[in-house]
Structure 1
Amino acid sequence: MTLITSESKGVYVIAVTPFNEDGSIDSHSIDSVTDFYFEKGADGLTILGMMGEAPKLTQAEALAVTRQTLARASGKVVVVGVSAPGLAAIEELTKAVMDMGAAGVMVAPPSNLHTNEQIVAYYSQVVEALGPDVPVVLQDFPLSTTVQISIPALGQIIEACPSIVMVKHEDWPGLAKISALRQAEAQGRRRVSILCGNGGIFLPEEMLRGADGAMTGFGYPEMMVDICRLTASGDIDRARDLFDAYLPLVRYEQQPGVGLGARKHVLAKRGAIRTATQRRPGAPLAGDAIQEIETLITRLEKRLAELG
């Protein structure tokens, strides 16, 4: 079993959870979308994240999705989101998925944390509950969780909790936070892997600030793979040219309430999943939105052909 570490790098795609039109889980598409992500160059997957509609799943469904994804991944890295309001639920789900062969778990802070002291104490309790052998990803996503983790508080957590080996960075604006983490490491603090979210909208800049890769979703995951590869090799201009081609569609996905529908539409169009269905509550895309996405795809593919 491969576990994530503080040296983990690359693209760990946030996987969608596919549903049939009646809202039941589409088991066939779990296999096809898992294959799709790895065929496009992903180094790993992260399942049961916010854009994986995890809060809409029952515990039994979450375990079933994890079991099937791990089986299809055939030993490749799969991180599982286990965020929940209480530690008992986090501990129970973590034990189950780690026993199945997960590479680690991701935990976002609950929205009732308001002070640095509360946030630091919370993550100390999380790692104590899970034990020292479970690698943990700290999800720093204040736009969704409403929890603002300051740079000093994040540093305290890293120092106090060695099993937190990765930060899923999606603060916004947050480039300075990446620089501060790397500067602290240069001064002797232990290293953590930094993988970035927010649909990749700042990925070139994040990589240049010292991020190790991406942990987010997009209808064209190969974009993130290429941007990470090109920036790591020093071909910054090529990375920016390629990113600019994808940027209109990346931007479209940033719309609250529309982004997941747009992503699922693109994945369905590309054959990764059978339908773009979201589990309720979740409205299907309106016709004009679908037409806008189709226009963006057409323009994207034309531009990619021009770039070679």
Structure 2
Amino acid sequence: MTDFGANLVAMVTPMGPGGTLSEPGLTRLVDHLLAGGADGLVVGGTTGEAPTLSATESAGLVRSVVARTRGQATVIAGVGTHDTAESVRRARDAEAAGAGGLLLVCPYYSRPTQAGVLAHCFAVADATELPVMLYDVPARAGIAMAPETLVELAGHPRVRAVKDAKGDLFEAMTVLARTSLAYYCGIDELNLPYLACGAAGLVSVVGNVVPDRTADLIRAVRAGDLASARRIQHALNPVIDAVMHAGPGTAMAKAALVELGILPHATVRLPLIEANLPDFGQEFGFRHPSSA
């Protein structure tokens, strides 16, 4: 838990018109997340539009977020690609940029064997001194990390955690019992069940919008107050539905942040299409922090 934090946000990447990276937007977003209680910021992951970011842009984002957080949160850099050599380069760039950890997705598109997954992950973990969070997301990668693969990877001294977007709670509990890996829920719809089963925290898309409420959920579960945790989760469900089910989570999260006045633009890069969520703040009772 100490490597990465508990209330992690899978950050969107703020962009201006035309898809240029927006430093002012990044500053406002980081400040909003820190004020809401996020203690880990995942930069350049799926929600951050990693497939459309150049290596230079990715390293620059990490550098900017590290500078803005001023040690208030762990900055975890998404470095996984389908190319092991490129993933290694990005891991080293992230370390040089000041990242506190790496998020390593299961290599996608190529659909390697489990032996290939192991070799890929070991190569990246060996490339830096940073702790590694594995990202198991078969819906995007095309393959899953098998339980035995996770157990073997847990033997590496720098592989510390798993962002689980597989949704198999029994498997998660089984791996938790066999390893020292910290599990993080990567499916907002299942945040409460994962925490109740022993997850160390969340890597949340909805946390872009409501980091304070995901922080409340984690606190309630840790205090053993499941009645309060259920109330928090039930209140969050309509927000999760709006952000995660009305369209791609990246586009919808940016649209919500625009409605709340945190980002000036909801721009995404193709093949994603810009979305809108009119009256989002009014519907769910949110206000921009500056007007609170």
Secondary structure at 1:137 match in 2:
strand
Give the alignment's Cα RMSD to 1 decimal.
2.0
Structure 2 contact 78–103 (Cα < 8 Å) conserved: yes
Q: What's 1:234 paired with?
A: 224
Q: Deviations over 1:183-205 (max 9, x none)?
A: 22xxxx4x12211112x211111
Runs of 4+ in structure 1 deviating by more than 6 angstroms, as ranges, are none
Amino acid at match of 2:183: I
Counterpart of 1:178 (choices 172, 182, 203) is 172
Displacement of 1:123? 1.8
Q: C-alpha separation between the residues in 2 aligned to 1:110 and 1:181?
A: 20
Give the gaps of 5 or more residues in structure 2: 287-292
Q: C-alpha separation between the residues in 2 aligned to 1:227 and 1:17?
A: 25
Q: Deviations over 1:248-288 (max 9, x none)?
A: 220232338432222111112222211111122221226xx
Q: Deviations over 1:25-83 (max 9, x none)?
A: 11101111011101000011010001101211222222221111111011231010011
Q: What's 2:198 paired with?
A: 210
Structure 1 contact 245–300 (Cα < 8 Å) conserved: no
Amino acid at match of 2:81: A
Q: What's 2:290 paired with?
A: none
Aligned residues: 282
Q: C-alpha separation between the residues in 2 aligned to 1:232 and 1:142?
A: 29
- TM-aligned CA distance change 1:144 to 1:30, over 3 Å: same
Alignment of 1:1-308 (within 5 A): 5=3, 8-75=4-71, 76-111=73-108, 112-128=110-126, 130-131=127-128, 133-159=129-155, 161-172=156-167, 174-184=168-178, 189=179, 191-198=180-187, 200-218=188-206, 219-255=209-245, 257-285=247-275, 290-291=277-278, 294=279, 297-301=281-285
Amino acid at match of 1:215: V
Q: Report the TM-score, using the length of structure 2 for normalisation.
A: 0.89
Q: C-alpha separation between the residues in 2 aligned to 1:257 and 1:251?
A: 10
Q: Deviations over 1:102-148 (max 9, x none)?
A: 101111121223433332233223323x14x2211100111111111
Displacement of 1:299? 4.3
Q: Deviations over 1:177-233 (max 9, x none)?
A: 22112222xxxx4x12211112x2111110010001101221212221111011101
Q: C-alpha separation between the residues in 2 aligned to 1:256 and 1:116?
A: 34
Amino acid at match of 2:222: A
Amino acid at match of 2:101: G
Q: Which has the larger radius of gyration?
A: 1
Q: Report the TM-score, using the length of structure 1 for normalisation.
A: 0.85
Displacement of 1:297? 4.6
Give the gaps of 5 or more residues in structure 1: 303-308
Q: Deviations over 1:138-178 (max 9, x none)?
A: 0011111111122222112212x221111111112x21122
Amino acid at match of 1:201: E
Identity %: 23
Secondary structure at 2:27 match in 1:
helix
Structure 1 contact 201–247 (Cα < 8 Å) conserved: yes
Structure 1 contact 17–53 (Cα < 8 Å) conserved: yes
Amino acid at match of 1:265: A
Secondary structure at 2:17 match in 1:
coil
Structure 1 contact 4–165 (Cα < 8 Å) conserved: no
